[in-house]
Amino acid sequence: DWVMRDHIAEAVESIRHQVGDEEVILGLSGGVDSSVAAALIHRAIGDQLTCVFVDHGLLRLNEGDMVMDMFVGQLHAKVIRVDASELFLGKLAGVSDPEAKRKIIGGEFVTVFKQEAAKLTSAGAKGAKWLAQGTIYPDVIESGGAKSKKAVTIKSHHNVGGLPEQLGLKLLEPLRDLFKDEVRELGVALGLPPGMVYRHPFPGPGLGVRILGEVKKEYADLLRRADAIFIEELHNFIDPASGKSWYDLTSQAFTVFLPVKSVGVMGDGRTYDYVVALRAVQTSDFMTADWAELPYALLKKVSGRIINEVRGINRVTYDVSSKPPATIEWE
Ligand code: XMP
């Protein structure tokens, strides 16, 4: 629509005016905000933008490749992908406390990003002068007011406080005045796939807080495959009353890995394998949430597929806890 086209033209003009011929760095996470910021800035200044995508190895199935395909393959943006999965898994070995895991993941993320950014800023006169962030209006308000412990972690992970100063860079925040739904509309208008822009939120620490206790590669691999099945079936099942998929009818849905083993039977044999929990909630603000009354046929399909297709998991449970008192994530 023309309002959005006007808005894009104005934003593009203002980014060009601000940045001139200088180089910009942006930390791309695959989330909505950083993706839309990247697409907008790329529209404005093209190759003057370099995105740094730190892959901590705790992303969903094929997520890293999808991010690269979108930004490099389709938008032709410059993206440096840093595969840091071994580094992160190494640092997380033996750590089971949820907040300790968050600290490690957030801290390493900043360290790795800074190393890459430092390379890009040290190129003399042609070195980057700007750090772009996908800060949106609610983040601006939140960081002015009282913060919960988790909010601090969220901020320190995504919109890294103090980082521009530490890197000697000027801050570029083209989404600062926008609400989430405006950011999504902008993303679609910029040509990002609606499926990416309207995806459920995914926490910065990723699967690190969806594997209970110690994070291991084996667990992450099993969880990724189980979760992909759950998400695929949520898209497949359409509610006849609304005509919407169960993915669109839920605010957030995911699979949690439980590092306990239970007994099962398969063919003539006994199995002794891991358990996963499915979680799906409906909420308007994520402060309170109801567990979603998913159709039994959907739950049946998902559990059947996970147990048959993901060797190593032999039991699937459904989480029927609302928030409060339970949180949405299990950690
Ligand atoms: P809880 O579990 O607190 O989650 O009910 C509320 C919302 O916040 C997300 N969440 C996080 N997001 N870093 C993030 O970026 C985190 O450490 C984190 N912890 C929870 C959660 O996915 C839900 O949308």
CA–centroid distance, residue 203 to ligand 1 (Å)? 5
Q: 250 CB under 6 A from ligand 1?
A: no
What pLDDT shows up at residue 156?
Answer: 40
48 pocket-lining for ligand 1 (C-beta < 6 Å):
no
Structural domains in the chain, sorted by start: 2-197 (3.40.50.620), 210-318 (3.30.300.10)
Helix (H) or strand (E) holding 256: strand 252-266
Return d(Cα 135, Cα 158) in angstroms, integer.
9
Q: Report CA(153)–ligand 1 centroid distance (Å).
A: 9
Residue 197 pLDDT: 96
pLDDT at residue 140 in the model? 87
| CA-closest residue to ligand 1 atom 20 | 203
| Residue among 227, 228, 248 at smallest CA distance from 237 | 248
Q: What is the pLDDT of residue 216?
A: 98
Token reading at 295: 């159709």
Is residue 288 in contact with ligand 1, taking CB distance under 6 Å?
no
- Could you say which DSSP state residue 233 is in? H
Provide the pLDDT for residue 141.
84
Neighbours of 313 (CB within 10 A): 25
Spatial separation of the C-alpha atoms in residues 329 and 24, rounded to whole Å: 34
Q: Looking at residue 155, what is its pLDDT?
A: 36
Q: What is the pTM of this model?
A: 0.92
| Binding residue numbers for ATP | 29-35
From the CA of 105, how far away is ligand 1's center (Å)?
14
Q: What local confidence, expressed as pLDDT, does residue 154 receive?
A: 41
Predicted pLDDT at 5: 87
Interface predicted TM-score (ipTM) over 0.95: yes
Low-confidence ranges of the chain (pLDDT < 70): 144-161
Q: Is the CB of 99 under 6 A from ligand 1?
A: no
Query: Which pLDDT does position 161 carry in this prediction?
Result: 64
Mapped onto helix, strand or coil, the DSSP state of residue 170 is strand
Number of Cβ within a 10 Å radius of residue 237: 18
pLDDT of residue 314: 98
The structure tokens 């799906």 sit at: 280
User: Quick one: which of 34, 62, 33, 71 has its CA closest to 232?
Assistant: 62
* pLDDT for the residue numbered 144: 65
